[in-house]
Structure 1
Amino acid sequence: MLKFSAIMLDGMNYAAWLFLVAVGLTLIYGVMRILNIAHGAFYAIGAYVCASALGVYYGAGLPEALAFLAMGVAALVAGVVLGLAVERGVLRFLYGRDEVLMVLVTYAMFLILEDAVKMIWGVNSYFVYQPYAYFGFVEIGGLPYQVYDLLMVVLAVVLGLGLWFWLERTRMGRMTTAVVADREISAAMGINVTRIFATTFAIGTVFAVVGGVVTAPKIAVTPGIGVEVIILAFAVVVIGGLGSIPGAAIGAIFAGYARALCVHLAPQFDLFAIYAVMAAVLAVRPHGLFAKTSGRKI
C-alpha cells in the first residue's frame, strides 16, 4: 500500500513539474513554429533568479510566509523581461526563415545564456531550502509527503487552466488561435502578428522561468541544470504532439508515471523510462498523440 501511494504521489508530482517546464516549449512551437532550445536556459535562469531573490529576501529579515510572493514576482519579472529581450532582440529578425535555422539560432542562444549564467552567478551551488521546508509534511495513504510538492501540482493545474482560458476565452487568445491556423490571412485581417509572437514568446518564457523558480528550493542550483530540462521537455512535447497544450499535459502524465514506476519497481531503468514511452508512442503515432495534421501549401 505504501509503495502504491508513493508511486501515485511521485508520478503526480513529477508530471506536474514536467508540464510546467514543457508547456511553454509547446506553446511557442504551436504559435511561432520555433523549437526553442533556449528554453532550458530560461529554466536555469529562473532557478538562479529565485535563489538570488530569496537570498536578498531572507537577508532582509522579511516574513517567511511572504517569500512565495517574492518567488512569484521574480518569476514574472524575469520571464517577461527575458522573453521580450530575446524575441525583440533576436528572433523578430528571423521570422519566415527555415525552421532548422531557428533551431540553430535558439541553440546558440542557449549556449550564450549558459555562459552568461556562469558569469553572473559563478560556478558555486546555491541552496534555498526554506520554502520547501516551510509547509512541512502531510500524511497521505500512510506515507508522509511534502506539502510543497502537492502545491506544485496545484500550481501546474491552475496555470494550465489559466493558459486554456486565455487561449479559448479572451480576445488575444482567439487572435493567437487564428495566427496558428494561418498567419498570412490573420495579418490580412488586421491582426498584429508581430505582437502575438512577442506575447506568446513572453508567456512561454514565463512558464520556463516558473519551472526553474519552483524547482530551486528542492535542488542545489548549479550550472548545467538547463541541459537535462530541455531534453525532458522535448520528450514530453513529442509524446503529446508538438504544439498541443493538452498533448503536453497528457505527455507529462505518461512520462511522470513511467518514471515513478521505474524508480519504485525497477530503478535500473529510471534513466530510460521517459524515452521508452516516447519511442513507444512514436512507433504508433509518429507525430505524437495530439498532433494536428496540416495540409501542404502550394
Structure 2
Amino acid sequence: MELAITIFIDGLTYASWLFIVALGLTLVFGVLKILNIAHGSFYALGAYAAATFVGWVATMHWAPGWTLVAMFMAAIAIAVLVAPLTEKGLLRFFYGHDEVLLVLVTYALFLCMEDITKLIWGANPYYVSEPYSMFGNVEIGNQIYVGYDFLLIVIAVVVGSVVWFGLNRTRQGKIVTAVIHSPEIASSMGVKVSKVYMMAFGVGVFLAALGGAFTAPMISVQPGLSVGVIIVSFAVVIIGGLGSIEGAAIGALIVGLARAFAVHVVPVAELFSIYVVMALVLMVKPEGLFQRIQARKI
C-alpha cells in the first residue's frame, strides 16, 4: 500500500510540471498548427532565467517568498522577449507552407537556442536551492516528501483551470476557437488572425518557461536540458491527442505514473517505459485519447 502511495505521489509530481509544458505545446499546435521542436528551448530559457532572477533576490537578502515571485517574473520575461521575436521575426514567414518545413524551421531554431543559452549562461550548471526548502517536508505514512513538490501540483491545477476557462468561457477564447476551426472565415468576420496567432504563441512560450522556472529548484540547470523535455512533452501530447487540454492532462498523468512505476519497481525500464505506454495507447487509438473531431470539408 505504501509503495502504491509513493508511486502515485511521485507520478503526480512529475506529471504536474510536465502538464504545464505540454499544455503550451498542444495550445500552439491547436491554434497555429505547428509542431514546435523549439518548445523545449523555451523551457530551458525559463529555467535559466529563474536561476538568474532567484540569484538576484538572494543577493538582495529579501524574504524567501520573493523567490517564487522571481520565478514567475522570469517566465513572463522570457515570454515577452522571446515570443514576439520568434513568431513575428521567423514563424510568420512560413505560415501556409508544408508542415514538414515548419518542423525543420523550429528544429533549426532549437539548435540555435541551444548555443545561445551556452553563450549567455555558459556550460556550468546552475542550482536554485532557495525555493525548494521553503515549504518544509510533508510526512505521509512512513514516507517524507518535500513540500515544494505539492506546490507544483497546485500550480498545474491552477494553470490548467485558467487556460480551460480562458478558451471556453471568455470572448477571447471564442475568437481563438473560431480561428482554430477556420482562419479564413474568422478573418472575413473581422478577426485579426495574426494577433490571435501572436497571443496563442506567447501563451505557449509562457507556459513552457513557467514549467522550466518552477522545475529549476528540483534539477540541475545545465546545457542539454531542453532535449529530454521536448521528447517527453511530445509523448504526452501524442498520447492525449494533439490540440486537447484534457488530453494533455491525462497524457501527463499517464506518463508520470508510468515513469514512477518504472523507477520504483523496474528501474532498468525507466528510460523506455514512457515510450512503451505511448506505443500501447497508439495501438488502440492512433489519433490519441482526446483527439478533436475534424470538420469535414466539402
TM range (shorter): over 0.9
Query: Structure 2: 5+ residue runs without aligned partners?
Result: none
Report whether the alignment pairs 1:255 with 2:238. no
Residue of structure 2 equivalent to 1:281: 281
Map 1:156-171 → 2, pairs under 5 A: 156-171=156-171
Map 1:174-253 → 2, pairs under 5 A: 174-253=174-253
Map 1:1-298 → 2, pairs under 5 A: 1-295=1-295, 297=297
CA distance in 2, matches of 1:159, 1:295: 28
Deviation of the 1:80 alpha carbon: 2.7
CA distance in 2, matches of 1:217, 1:150: 13
For residues 47-86 of structure 1, the C-alpha deviation after alignment (integer angstroms, 9 at most, x for no partner) is 1001111111101111112211111111112123211221
Aligned length: 298
Provide the secondary structure at the position in 2 that maps to 1:64.
coil
CA distance in 2, matches of 1:245, 1:266: 30
Deviation of the 1:171 alpha carbon: 1.1
Q: 2:67, 2:130 within 8 Å by CA — same for their partners in 1?
A: no
Q: 2:241, 2:287 within 8 Å by CA — same for their partners in 1?
A: yes
Provide the secondary structure at the position in 1 that maps to 2:87.
helix
For residues 170-228 of structure 1, the C-alpha deviation after alignment (integer angstroms, 9 at most, x for no partner) is 11111001111111111111111100000000000000001110111111110010000
Q: Aligned residues: percent identity?
A: 52
Query: Structure 1: 5+ residue runs without aligned partners?
Result: none
Deviation of the 1:282 alpha carbon: 0.7
Deviation of the 1:296 alpha carbon: 5.9
CA distance in 1, matches of 2:48, 2:149: 20
Provide the secondary structure at the position in 2 that maps to 1:108.
helix
CA distance in 1, matches of 2:158, 2:34: 25
Amino acid corresponding to residue 221 of structure 1 in structure 2: V
Amino acid corresponding to residue 25 of structure 2 in structure 1: L
For residues 272-292 of structure 1, the C-alpha deviation after alignment (integer angstroms, 9 at most, x for no partner) is 111111100111111111112
Between 1:167-176 and 1:62-71, the stretch displaced more is 62-71
Amino acid corresponding to residue 183 of structure 1 in structure 2: P
Q: 2:57, 2:66 within 8 Å by CA — same for their partners in 1?
A: no
Deviation of the 1:295 alpha carbon: 4.8
CA distance in 2, matches of 1:207, 1:124: 25
Q: 1:5, 1:143 within 8 Å by CA — same for their partners in 2?
A: no
Between 1:99-108 and 1:285-294, the stretch displaced more is 285-294
Between 1:157-166 and 1:1-10, the stretch displaced more is 1-10
CA distance in 1, matches of 2:79, 2:137: 30
Provide the secondary structure at the position in 2 that maps to 1:34.
coil
Q: 1:44, 1:212 within 8 Å by CA — same for their partners in 2?
A: yes
Q: 1:5, 1:141 within 8 Å by CA — same for their partners in 2?
A: no
CA distance in 2, matches of 1:179, 1:142: 52
Amino acid corresponding to residue 90 of structure 1 in structure 2: L
Q: 1:11, 1:256 within 8 Å by CA — same for their partners in 2?
A: yes
CA distance in 1, matches of 2:119, 2:163: 34
TM-score by length of 1: 0.97
CA distance in 2, matches of 1:65, 1:184: 47
Q: 1:152, 1:214 within 8 Å by CA — same for their partners in 2?
A: yes
For residues 63-118 of structure 1, the C-alpha deviation after alignment (integer angstroms, 9 at most, x for no partner) is 11221111111111212321122111111111111111110000011011110000
For residues 230-261 of structure 1, the C-alpha deviation after alignment (integer angstroms, 9 at most, x for no partner) is 00000000000111111000101111111111
Q: 1:17, 1:211 within 8 Å by CA — same for their partners in 2?
A: yes
CA distance in 2, matches of 1:135, 1:100: 45
Deviation of the 1:297 alpha carbon: 4.2
CA distance in 1, matches of 2:13, 2:171: 33
CA distance in 2, matches of 1:22, 1:14: 12
